[in-house]
Amino acid sequence: MARKTSVQENRSHSQTDDFITRTHVLPLLTNKKKRQELIEEHRLNPIGLPGQGGHPASRHSADLARVIDKFRRQGMEGKYVRICVVPHTGYKIGITSGIRGVPVKILGKVYDSEDACEHAIFKKRVKDILEKYS
């Protein structure tokens, strides 16, 4: 069988993403104090809040946005997603297979809000990236 080409393996994207991760994301997450600040900022505002009643939108800091953008660039295989199991009151974390038609694996813990579930996903992603690059 012929070896896959660089294009087929998406090597250019992978190497660029790895560079960005090592240069701009890992320094934020390997510093324990900074990591805790980002986790707390995310806990207080996990998905960003739209402006309401004449007040501006509540956006994430540049550092948190950088980390979230890294997580969004992840491929679909093994990606964490929020699954609504009871409208407005019950959410679980799912893990995608990355293969069309293969069901999402749903984890057991139920979260009482979208924000709580999103924050749990964020913490899982932080843990995963630190393990991958340790």
Domain ranges of the chain: 11-48+59-132
pLDDT for 13: 78
Cβ atoms 105, 86 nearer than 8 A: no
Q: Which of 6-15, 16-25, 70-79, 86-95 has the lowest mean pLDDT?
A: 6-15
What are phi and psi for residue 77, nearest 5 degrees?
-70, 120
Cβ atoms 116, 91 nearer than 8 A: yes
pLDDT for 102: 95
pLDDT for 51: 67
Mean of per-residue pLDDT scores for the chain: 91
H/E run at residue 84: strand 80-86
Summarised one tens digit per residue, pLDDT across range 46-89 is 987 776 777 777 789 999 999 999 999 888 999 999 999 999 99
Q: Which residues contact 70 (CB under 8 A, 6 or more apart)?
A: 17, 20, 21, 25, 129
Q: Which residue intervals of the chain are DSSP H helices?
A: 11-20, 26-30, 32-44, 62-72, 114-132
CB-based burial label for 25 (10 Å; 0-12, 13-18, 19+): buried
Cβ atoms 84, 91 nearer than 8 A: yes
Is residue 107 pLDDT above 70, yes or no?
Answer: yes
Q: Which residues contact 47 (CB under 8 A, 6 or more apart)?
A: 114, 115, 118
